[in-house]
Structure 1
Amino acid sequence: MPRVTRVLERVPGTRQLLDADTVTRRRLALAGLAGNIGIVITGGAVRLTGSGLGCPTWPKCTEDSYTATEAMGVNGAIEFGNRLLTFVLSAIAIALVVAVWRHARLRRPAVILALGIPGQGVVGGITVLTDLNPYVVGLHFLLSAAMIGGSYLLWQRTVPRPAAEPGAVRLRPLTWALTAASAAVVVIGVVVTGSGPHAGDEKAHRTGLNPEMISQLHVDAVFLMLGLAVACWFAARAVTAAPMARAATILLAVLLAQGAIGFVQYFTHLPAALVGAHMAGACAVWVATLAVVWSTGFDAPGADGSASSLTSDETNRTLVTVR
């Protein structure tokens, strides 16, 4: 690592990033989180506008061009625009890696997330080469959910956090159950999408599963998650864990709003605008779920031995100041 640091110090423009302060690191981490959510939303727009094969091949947009041509029309521009966002997200990820390079606790997740972006690009390319196979498209979304989770973890780690409250720590298993239910909701939601309309192209295949049956299973998982979210709220208030109670309140609000969108879109035969809002809502529910987990002190200094990983002198000094 010292050798890599010396190399980075010689690269023009990296010295300032290597010496970035906490605020800069946190802003870059937040930009990465927002970018990964943005990719989901723009990817949804590609599918909902029928632009999934706007660029019919990969890595080129056409057999003869890496960019969309005028003859490809709006669909080509939409698909190519989504591909370009990957480069923006890559630039943020690289800047973040440099900014956190001297901080061991931040460096590993930043590097993993940076490597995940080209990995996602490859999966996106496979979706095009397989003519929008619904299972590959679903994998593409689930990998984005994993990237969002990793981005949220990195963002939370950019600032020191107080030690976990004993009452909240006891509720951590309940939040893990909530997280499992939330993940199930996302996974089943992906299966619902693969069995319904809005395939991204009129020639794209569907899974062939019964949409009504899968939708009912999705609703069942949502009600399970809603019950667990209510349980988290009551339990947090019972042990006077104020941060967890606030996080659970936000989750309940987001979950109810997402549920309302889901019911309306189902009974109005899945209009594209509501489907897009539902995809954005899925990201919001996932992030709100993770916030409940983090409110229990998960990954905080002193929680599960994580304090020992705070190797940065700057972070240690900040912790002493906070205490």
Structure 2
Amino acid sequence: MQISRLIARLPYPSATLQRGAAIAAIIAQGGIGVTGSIVRVTGSGLACPTWPQCFEGSMFPVQHPEYAALNTWIEFGNRMLTGVVVLVAALCVVVAWRVWLDHPERKRLLALAWTMPAGVVAQAVIGGLTVLTGLLWWTVAIHFLASTVLVWLATVLLHAFGEGDTPPRWRVPPVGRGLLVALVVALAGTLVAGTTVTGAGPHGGDSDVPRLQAPIETLVQVHAAMLVTYLVVLAVFGLQLLRVGADRRLWRRYGVTWAVALAQGGLGSLQHALGVPEELVSLHVLGAMAVIVTTATLWCAARDRGPAVGHSPATEPALAITR
């Protein structure tokens, strides 16, 4: 295959480059979600009213009596960030492909890398649907939730670069594994419930966008209840770590997960008490991405896939970030 021959000519990626590509993917996938929230809270969601063009007949912003220039450039800038996400996704694939060419057993690593460009394509389609349907709340919710899945996958990719591909050996008992699954389910429920609060809230991306017709106080309570569920499961998981005498690395990641989740909960409470100010909305989205990263990191730290291979099977492991 021609592409494989071209990639094979590249130098074998260093440990730093492998980590850097995955970290860039986490930042890019999470960042596009945060900038999307800025578009929403500034009412810029339809400032580029067509897709994929900004205006009919123009890919770039033009003066228009119905749209403020600032709002148009905010929406256009968010679209342009997709280009950065594409480049980072391509870098992840090239790096993983180069590793796979020397180590064909690393199919899982390459498959995870390919989820990055696949996600970009999916997000482009969802983004177009969001614009063409006039920012219907459920399309905006799907757009955001797709970003959360990609942030999770990018975090798993980061760990995949630094671990082997043997079947996972869990560092917690079966009950602990079940609790981790429950933790992820609770996190997913919290995120979905959060999108319903956003759908009924004041920041729809445009003043004429129809909102979710549901009592927002009830939606907020459901969202809060899901976060409490997440924290309860996290606490019970901590008891399992005590039971098995978990190592320092796993405890450290567990502690970071608690700190980030509590900070996010406090920020959400403050946001609600202050009437959902625009600045806190974007910070809350950033906090959600941080909770996803820490939860995914805790998941990965709870199992061992063996050491990562180096430049050749005979060399010492080049990476061991999850051990």
TM-score normalized with structure 1 length: 0.88
State the alpha-carbon separation in 1 of the partners of residues 233 and 72 from structure 2. 43
Q: Are the equivalent residues in 2 in contact too, given 1:194–1:207 (CA < 8 A)?
A: yes
1:248 aligned to 250, 254, 264, which one? Answer: 254
Deviations 1:25-72 (A, max 9, x none): 211111011100100110010001110011011000000210112444
For residues 121-270 of structure 1, the aligned pairs below 5 Å read 121-160=124-163, 167-170=171-174, 171-242=176-247, 243-270=249-276
Deviations 1:293-312 (A, max 9, x none): 11211xx325xxxx9xx888
State the alpha-carbon separation in 2 of the partners of residues 219 and 69 from structure 1. 42
Greater Cα offset, 312-321 or 258-267: 312-321
Q: Are the equivalent residues in 2 in contact too, given 1:168–1:244 (CA < 8 A)?
A: no
Cα offset, 1:74, TM superposition: 0.2
Higher helix share: 1
- Unmatched segments (≥5 aa) in structure 1: 10-14
- Structure 2 residue aligned with 1:5: 4
State the alpha-carbon separation in 1 of the partners of residues 141 and 313 from structure 2. 39
- Structure 1 residue aligned with 2:279: 273
State the alpha-carbon separation in 1 of the partners of residues 6 and 20 from structure 2. 25
Q: Would you say 1:98 and 2:94 are equivalent positions?
A: yes
Q: 1:269 to 1:20 in 2, by over 3 A?
A: same
RMSD: 2.5
- Unmatched segments (≥5 aa) in structure 2: 101-106
State the alpha-carbon separation in 2 of the partners of residues 148 and 237 from structure 1. 29
Q: What SS does the corresponding residue of 1:241 show, helix, strand or coil? A: coil
Q: 1:166 to 1:36 in 2, by over 3 A?
A: closer
* Corresponding residue pairs, total: 308
AA partner of residue 195 (structure 1): A
State the alpha-carbon separation in 2 of the partners of residues 100 and 167 from structure 1. 27
Q: 1:148 to 1:281 in 2, by over 3 A?
A: same
- Structure 1 residue aligned with 2:74: 78
Deviations 1:121-145 (A, max 9, x none): 1211111111101001000011111
Q: Would you say 1:21 and 2:14 are equivalent positions?
A: yes
State the alpha-carbon separation in 2 of the partners of residues 99 and 48 from structure 1. 37
Identical columns (%): 33
TM-score normalized with structure 2 length: 0.88
State the alpha-carbon separation in 2 of the partners of residues 98 and 245 from structure 1. 34
